[in-house]
Structure 1
Amino acid sequence: MGDSAPVTAEGSSPMLRQTSAHRHGAAIAVVVCLATATASTAGLAPMAHGERESPSSLYLVTLEGAGTAGGGAVDETASATHMLQTQDQLLEIVDAEDPIYRWTTALNGFAVELAAAQAARLAGDPRVALVEKNQIRPLAAVDGAASRTATASVPGTRERGGGVVIGFVDTGIDPDSRAFSAVTPLGPVPSRFGGACGHAPDDPDWDTGDCDTKVVAAQHYVAGFGEDRLRVNAVLSPADTDGHGTAVASVAAGTDDVAVEVGDHRLGRFSGVAPRARVAAYKACWSAPDPDDDGCATADLVAAIDRATADRVDVLNLSVGGPARIDTVELALLGAAEAGIVVTAATGNQGDDDYAAHPSPWVVTVGASTGAQRVGAVEAQGGPTLRGAMAATGPAGPAPLVL
């Protein structure tokens, strides 16, 4: 799916919300809205059957105003109930199907199958801030495998991250990785954190017991990407079959002083930047039969961000590309930031693009790649010279080569 312009009311654009510090009247407004809530549809009559078109597409619909994370409401449950009532009214206007996702925490919105006429109708409603099609975003990764080994050489590194929960919206997690072994007891999970290890009935190898005091939560979201688009070996669980999510989480929060070995090669000792931090994984990025179709559906990304915000992570990382504009994902990240979460995101690795992804001021946008990747060559006598990454630290051979 290519990047497409958002559908908005004519002459309008996505509005940036004020932070919660400037919304002291929001709680009163919510109470008043709840007291006067009716089936009002802002004067718009329901769509006639003939106005509906096919085929339909998955759209992300964001309503005006903040989610419960940034709205400053006294009663978050009552506020969320009002949001759902308004969502129901809008869905009824266009006679839409049931949404695949509803969001009330990081933002107020939903993802639903709509025909073009239905989407345009919603975009014209004054209660709607943004309507845009679901899109597939690429993971941010460098070509080739940069070295993932590091040595903790800074004094005090072993104690970094204590009491912090880092959320990763990515390809999932391998909880059995040695990078997450609890060598030093971490103590109880912070009481403010509300995440959990999700069930995955379609993956017999996944067990909610895979979570522990290091990997404290794991969920997966695939409805936006589509189960019918998955690679044959994909697993419907938080388990990471790609490796990207596990690598990112290990760099940030991997256990201190772990030996790294590949076969008979010892590659040194490994430590994450904050080895005492906890890991919460939200799998929203998937592999397709054609690697060019791999990626993360924006509907799944927003669902993951909404859940991470509700779980009260301290830091949220998104190593996923994006456009140079404010879209639904950026609005969800705004809601996370309004909840007091430090949000970090990759600037993108699409070398042919002339922009940086995630330009929002509420996101710490990171754009750097370093590594000690070793490059070598295999020279065949009377044949070609093959160059690529290697594990050896010095020359080897001559020796027979078996292909």
Structure 2
Amino acid sequence: MISKEHIINRFVSYVTVDTESDPKSETTPSTEKQWDLANKLAEELKAIGMEDVTIDENAYIMATLPSNVNYHVPVIGFVSHFDTSPDFTGANVKPQIIEKYDGKDIVLNAAENIVLSPDYFEDLLQYKGQTLITTDGTTLLGADDKAGITEIVSAMEYLINHPEIKHGAIRVGFTPDEEIGRGAHKFDVEKFGADWAYTMDGSQIGELEYENFNAASAVVKVKGKIVHPGYAKGKMVNSMYIAQEFINSLPRFETPEHTEGYQGFFHLSSVEGKVEETTLEYIIRDHDLGHFEARKEVLRKLTDELNSQYGREVITTEIKDQYFNMREKVEPVMHIVDIAEEAMKQLDITPLIKPIRGGTDGSQLSYMGLPCPNIFAGGHNFHGRYEYVPVESMIKATEVICKIAELTALKQE
């Protein structure tokens, strides 16, 4: 049985290390502080008995648990990222342990009146009676994806300490900068050497995902003309008003707060404006590749229309693809999803097979030749002060990893 106390201690030791990534940085990792946890993880993998532990110049960590059977078993991998989102601070994380959650409001921070309430976050009620780890309301928690790392390291340690569980060779990989879309950019798939892998980067218990958004970013720059406002008639062009036209011309209800399931969206994530220049930053998401391409074309056509309306180039739009739907790469090898589903069922976990409304390292890795579905890590409300994770979910995820390894070996026996 995997120890609850052991899981809690390991998780807390990870989340109290600040590893926030920085999208404006051009280095890998994007922040120097990510090295603090990366080096700690490499040493910990060696300490528990993993072999071939490496950490490269970009902080990508890999290690091997050798096979303990005398017949051929496909090499499988498990991957998680150690950076945390720049959406909310990850400095000075102070985890709070809530034993035997009673289903009521959790006061995260009395001084600032920050409350985690099931009235707003209904998923909390699934975990009544369990042990929750929350923030103190002033930072994110970092369960995305330090819960995944906790589960992978704990599973490897458990398998090492229980050689009666038969398994083939297992590779583990930990990456920087996933939260800024670069987690797999410098991942050496050939060196990793797995036939397939799983990212431990999902949310609630039972999640099993092999579909994700096609994703792109768009930077829209609007040019204006600044003159003295007292003498501006016929001369001033206020870029912020043109930007407002651009914003209002996109479908109002095709935004994150109005969509779910397979529905795509345009998301205005940042606005910086002055009279002379305004910059809009969008992300574009859709599961369907045709719809995804159509969304990008909407932005291009709107740019052309406004430029035509103003008789000159007042807007430029730069669109960059970020990642694509892994379904295309996973469907030909669906047995890897079936194994994960069977593992959950054998552990009395109801599989929740649904599309990811986001992306993981696995989506990029799948296109790099490493099919890589995504499995729950257990956390909720990622990237903000209301993030929490049930300890029992982390224990179950750890058991799923062990069971996948065992089933993969049994199927080859």
Compute the TM-score of the two structures, normalised by the length of structure 2: 0.27
* Structure in which a larger fraction of residues adopt helix: 2
Higher RCO (C-alpha 8 Å, min separation 6): 2
Compute the TM-score of the two structures, normalised by the length of structure 1: 0.27
